[in-house]
Chains A and B, each alone.
Chain A
Amino acid sequence: MTTNGNGLRWVGKRPVRPDGVDKVTGRAQFGADFTLPGMIVGKVLRSPHAHANIRSIKTEKAQALPGVKAVITAADFPELPSEIEQAGEVVLNFRDMSRNVMARQKALYDGHAVAAVAATSIEIAERALDLIEVDYEVLPHVIDVVEAMEADAPLLHDDLYTMGVEPTPDKPSNVAKRVEFSIGDLNAGFEMAEVVVEREFTTKPVHQGYIEPHAAVASASEDGLCHIWCTTQGQFMVRYYVSRLLGLEVSKLRVTPSEIGGGFGGKTVVYLEPVALALSMKCHRPVKMVMSREEVFRASGPTSGAHVWVKMGATKDGRITAGEAVLKYQAGAVPGAPIGPGCMCAFAPYDLDNVKVVGFDVVTNRPKVAAYRAPGAPISEFGVESVVDELAKKLGMDAIAFREKNAAREGTHAAYGPTFGEIGYTETLRVAKEHPHYQAPLGPNQGRGVASGFWFNIGGASTAALNVNEDGTTTLISGCPDIGGSRASLSMMAAEVLGIDVEQVRPTIADTGSIGYSFLTGGSRVTFATGMAVIEAANDVVRQLRERAAKIWEIDVEAVVWENGEAKPSGSNAGDFEPLSLSSIAATAGKTGGPITGHVSLNAQGAGPAFGTHICDVEVDRETGRVTVLRYTAIQDAGKAIHPSYVEGQIQGGAVQGIGWALNEEYIYDEDGRLENPGFLDYRIPVASDVPMIDAVIVEVPNPKHPYGVRGVGEVPICPPMSAVANAVANATGLRMADLPISPPKLLAAITNGG
């Protein structure tokens, strides 16, 4: 097979996605669309307090209401020990997860689940919630990350001692962990610097904002076998987490993923799934639970708000000599802010000798954060890319030329550990510099900003099965939910290897009982890692097809080649037999050895780091402080774009999420610690009229570790926009906006005070 970029039949083309018709006709089944006979509904009672001891919960009256079939509290979940486990991009502690799913002893944020009921109708379930009596002792709360780190801050957990500090503190605090990455000699680096910029930044928690709320149906039978149907980024993740939270054997729980209506990291954890199952285990009726939008905002994970301090120095000729950062990330109610990746990515785009990054994971009385697209990286990179821009300005250098001079290249030793192989950062800078956008004229009150971004991407465990059907069509089965078109990219890679029409490959996303373990859809891993499993499974099928042809022709298998979907005799046998197509070999498979199937499980290594560079033009209304994005170009190294339309889509969508983060989106709390804007009206994600076309430009520097050169593409595009926008605003106004979002009142105040 040709895999060198030449002569590819499907890779790089733009066929219609295989699940497309279902999704434009309303036929596709998402989480809330699933029903079962005899199904009842579950609802959650949530804390109205940001921080409170739960003295008692009385459920008798609710239980007695006709139509109520089950009531549960934390007492219905096993009490788990505190144990830390690493899983992909995140760190797990099942005790903390259990406490987040259902409050135990303490309510830790407005919206924290404290009890749940299952009833024969929503109305009865809601009335039952009103009948549950919770005796709260309201405690002082803390929302802000800097305040939470102070010695006299209200303490969320009296058994939380800061990890990563020697010696371990003898007093508990809200600081769960301190991490540090450093290389070189920071002092020497700053001594060499002729220009130094130092600045503090803040970012607000922002929600992933998937349009589909969390939804699950759970059914537990009398013999202990359980089944969950839910919207999730990982059916195997749900199976494992729920099994741990409820003390089940993994084999007794089967999880079927629905179509997923957006996740962006926010559906890499469980909320309703264990609650619905616990309710079903009590009443043995299927229980359906769907979050309202308000519940999604109040009780599912946004990403961290943060305080970021960055200091960088450079010589007059434009070489960065040192970079230092201190990152304080909110974890929400229990530990687990994405501080590790935040620290790793902060300075990764640059080839620096002297770096120190210190990060803190801090608990606050907010919902526990969940992964959000390149978790942690956009926050630290916002600070660094803003300072890089200021440094370039002080040096009188062009923003792209300054980055080019300091850019990470093949062989650069990154501060967080690895030495980069083939990477495409400088390619994105070159393309940005040459793009017509970069030279286009600007009008009054307009400014142009540039920023780059980095995400390391991950691989991990994936399984794929490829079955050859009786007529020569194929069925491709994998275990990663398709969140943005991965069925298309996986089918295309299988068709490429088999040399058949892509429509002859029919992809299926299987439940946990029907395919081998696969890590979740996240970390920009599916087209890369599951793609590798698909390619290997297809290669295995090709090997078997050649064996069958050899058997039919009674020649040696080494004398059979597979070309363009056909077995052909080669070498000394060339031309001796008519080629055999896949369909003719499939038709006789029963006589030549039985069904032909490929099945591969692997742990994909060698995910290619990805870089992007964005150019943003804004216009600032000096009377209102409103920022309008006029033009936006996003350039990204995709390694190899299997289906370029869906790669462009990732880039465009990530850029617009980042524009929302930069300009509009924030969680607003009142003085009692209650979320004031839990809805799409007041938590305003960008709408179509807020943004221009996003010119997505794909650069291809192949990842040598993937057969077609794929790098993950989903996460990098959310890293540059916040600084690209802020840098553009700085160029339009002369004002450095260091606090996100750059909302009209904030910018107007800055213009009035300093503009």
Chain B
Amino acid sequence: MVKTHVNMTVNGEAVEFLCETKATLLDVLRDELDLTGSKEGCSSGDCGACSVILDDRLVCACLVLGAEADGGNVETIEGMADADQLHPLQQKFLEEAALQCGICTPGFLVAAKALLERNSNPTETEVRYWLAGNLCRCTGYDKIVRAVMDTAEEMKGVSK
């Protein structure tokens, strides 16, 4: 099978690899680049566990082909903390116990970060609809929604 030569930036680092034609961006991240923080829950775009940012767009990595992402800029959960400083969302998820098993957590964090970058003051309804593409079976969403709203509140305070 002919492979495609792909260059992309992942969490600020240039990477280069040969990509199977049918490999998804999720396959590439997990199997080629050993970035297993993005999870595969369905491979059909229904669960959001593989949420990543591709060129400032929130996408399910399972719905993007690896070759399609050539030249792209990808941000994953592994790039969310800044050195030993957790992102405020990561910190708030910990403080407010917004995770139980943790499998959906990377996807939720990436999706929530994308939300707060667009809307720094979301209502509860806006948070719930934005995160409707991320499934969590453990928490009932209560603590996740609160953690996102509390982070927004806190980040507003900091940026003032």
A691 to B35, CA, bound (A): 32
A391 to B96, CA, bound (A): 41
Tell me if A16 counts as interface (CB < 8 A to partner B).
yes
Residues of chain A lying within 8 A (CB to CB) of residue B105: 23-24
A21 contacts which chain B residues (CB < 8 A)?
86, 90, 94
B97 on the A face (CB < 8 A): yes
Q: Which residues of A contact B70 (CB under 8 A)?
A: none
Partner of A681, one of B46, B131, B140: B46
Whether A484 pairs with B77 at a CB distance below 8 angstroms is no
Q: A25 with B80: in contact, given A211-B41, A264-B137, A653-B137 (CB under 8 Å)? A: yes
Q: Which residues of B contact A212 (CB under 8 A)?
A: 39, 41, 101, 103
Q: Hey, what's the 0/1 contact readout for B86-102 against A, CB within 8 Å counting as 1?
A: 10001001111101111
| Contact segment of A28-36, A99-107, A602-610 | A28-36
CA distance A212 to B104 in the complex (A): 8
B97 partner residues in chain A, CB cutoff 8 A? 14, 17, 485, 643, 645-646, 648-649
A688 and B44 contact, CB distance less than 8 A: no
Residues from 108 to 140 in B contacting A, C-beta threshold 8 Å: 109, 124-125, 127-129, 131-140
The reply on A378 being an interface residue by CB < 8 A is: no
- CB neighbours of B33 from chain A (8 A): none
Tell me the bound Cα distance from A646 to B132 in angstroms.
23
In the complex, the chain B residue whose C-beta lies closest to that of A679 is: B44
* Binary interface encoding of chain A residues 204-226 relative to chain B, with 1 for a CB under 8 A from any of its CBs, else 0: 00001111110000000000000
Supposing A212-B103, A262-B103, A483-B100 touch, asked if A693 and B142 sit within 8 A by C-beta, the answer is yes
- Is A27 in contact with chain B by the CB < 8 A criterion? yes
Can you name the residue of chain B whose Cβ is closest to the Cβ of A16? B94
B77/A693 in contact, CB under 8 A: no
Whether B103 pairs with A211 at a CB distance below 8 angstroms is yes
CA distance A33 to B40 in the complex (A): 10
Least distance between B103 CB and chain A CB atoms (Å): 3
Q: Is B73 close to A, CB under 8 A?
A: no
Q: Which residues of A contact B144 (CB under 8 A)?
A: 688
* A654-667 vs B, Cβ < 8 Å mask (1 yes, 0 no): 11110000000000
Question: Do the beta carbons of B129 and A689 come within 8 Å of each other?
Answer: yes
Write the nearest CB–CB distance from A361 to chain B, whole angstroms: 27
Given A25-B37, A25-B78, A29-B36, answer yes or no on A209-B137 (Cβ-Cβ < 8 Å): yes
Nearest CB in chain A to that of B40: its residue: A32
| Interchain nearest-CB distance for B97 vs A (Å) | 4
Q: Is the CB of B93 within 8 A of A688?
A: no
Contacts of B42 in A (CB 8 A): 293, 679-680
Mark each residue of chain A from 482 to 509: 1 if its CB lies under 8 Å from any CB of chain B, else 0: 0111000000000000000000000000
Query: Measured between alpha carbons, how far is A653 from B136 in the docked complex, in Å?
Result: 9
CA distance A17 to B94 in the complex (A): 7
Are A211 and B39 in contact, CB atoms less than 8 angstroms apart?
Answer: yes
With an 8 A cutoff between CB atoms, is A685 at the interface? yes
Contact assessment for A645 and B43 in the assembled complex, using a CB-CB cutoff below 8 Å:
no
Could you say which of B36, B49, B104, B141 has the most chain A C-beta atoms within 10 Å of its C-beta?
A: B141
| Interface membership of A56, Cβ < 8 A | no
Tell me, rounded to whole Å, the shortest Cβ–Cβ distance linking B31 to chain A: 9
A693 touches B145 (CB 8 A): yes
Select which of B43, B93, B100, B140 is within 8 A of A292 by beta carbon.
B43
- Chain B residue numbers with a CB within 8 Å of A679 are 42, 44, 46
B interface, size bucket: 35 or more
**Once bound together, how far apart are the Cα atoms of A206 and B141, in whole Å?**
20
How far in angstroms is the closest Cβ of chain B from A255? 19
Interface centre among B47, B101, B132 (most CB of A within 10 A): B101
Given contacts A262-B138, A688-B141, contact A26 B40 (CB under 8 A): no
- The answer to whether A687 and B135 touch (CB under 8 A), given A212-B103, A693-B145, is yes
Q: Is there a chain B Cβ closer than 8 Å to A466's Cβ? A: no
A261 within 8 A of B: yes
Chain A nearest Cβ from B32, distance in angstroms: 12
Most interface-central of B97, B109, B136 (chain A CB within 10 A): B97
Max count, chain A CB within 10 A of own CB: residue among B1, B99, B109, B134: B99
Residue of A nearest to B27 (CB): A122
Q: Which A residues from 615 to 651 make CB contacts under 8 A with B? A: 643, 645-646, 648-650
Measured between beta carbons, the chain B residues less than 8 angstroms from A293 are 41-44, 46-47
B34 to chain A minimum Cβ distance, whole angstroms, is: 9
Residue-wise interface mask of A (245-261) relative to B, using a CB-CB cutoff of 8 A (1 in contact, 0 not): 00000000000000111
A213 pairs with B41, CB closer than 8 A: yes
**B94 and A24 within 8 A (CB):** yes
- Interface residues in A167-226 (C-beta closer than 8 Å to B): 208-213
Residues on B with C-beta less than 8 A from A657 are: 137, 140
Chain B, Cβ-Cβ closest to A647: B97
Residue B106, interface by CB 8 Å? yes
| Inter-subunit contact A484/B138 (CB<8 Å) | yes
On chain B, the residues within 8 Å of A123 by CB distance are 1
- CB pair A210–B77 under 8 Å, yes or no, is no
What are 27 A-B pairs at a CB distance below 8 A?
A16-B95, A19-B102, A21-B86, A26-B38, A27-B37, A29-B36, A32-B36, A211-B104, A212-B39, A213-B41, A261-B101, A261-B102, A290-B40, A483-B101, A485-B97, A648-B97, A653-B100, A656-B140, A679-B42, A680-B42, A685-B135, A686-B140, A686-B141, A687-B131, A687-B134, A688-B129, A688-B145
- B residues engaging A (CB < 8 A)? 1, 30, 35-44, 46-47, 49, 76-78, 80-81, 86, 90, 93-97, 99-106, 109, 124-125, 127-129, 131-146
Given contacts A261-B101, A650-B100, A693-B142, 7 further A-B contacts (CB under 8 A): A16-B94, A26-B78, A27-B37, A261-B102, A646-B100, A657-B137, A681-B44
Q: Which 6 A-B pairs give the minimum distances between C-beta atoms?
A: A26-B37, A261-B103, A656-B140, A23-B102, A645-B97, A680-B46
